[in-house]
Amino acid sequence: MSWMYGTDWEYADSRLRDTVVRYKDRPFFVDRVSNSGKVIGTYLDAPDVQHTVPAIEMNLKPVPLGYCNYNGRASYLSRAPMRHDWRQGLRRASLVSSNGDTHNISWRTSAQ
């Protein structure tokens, strides 16, 4: 797997900050990309523990979506078509739910 941003950590940060990508096939929320080539963030299933991982090891392919169980309800998650979307990872704004509950989906953000 190749890192598409080379050593332009500032550009990588602008594209990945506050998005969900994958690290070791687990959904990983990116808080930021440091100028030393590390990604600081959390796994979605363990948001209380922050990790620093090598940027080169991030999986930037789209996060798989589909049916999920959220608050006891089955919902189909998909990506919304977005114009002028320059972010790499999955964001709350680009997520659509079949039952309209996406505004309640909480994943950790760096603003919290």
Q: Flag whether pLDDT at 1 surpasses 50.
A: no
Residue 4 lies in a domain: no
For the segment 82-98, what is each residue's pLDDT rounded down to a tens digit? 776 667 777 777 777 77
pLDDT over 70 for what percent of the chain?
79
More confident residue, 45 or 13: 13
Predicted pLDDT at 66: 84
Residue 14 belongs to domain spanning? 9-104
- The answer to whether position 109 is within a domain reads no
Q: Does any domain span residue 97?
A: yes
Q: How high is the pLDDT of residue 73?
A: 77
DSSP output for 16-76 = HTT-EEEETTEEEEEEEE-TTSEEEEEETTEEEEEEEEEGGGEE-SPPP--EEEETTEEEE
Q: Is residue 35 part of a domain?
A: yes
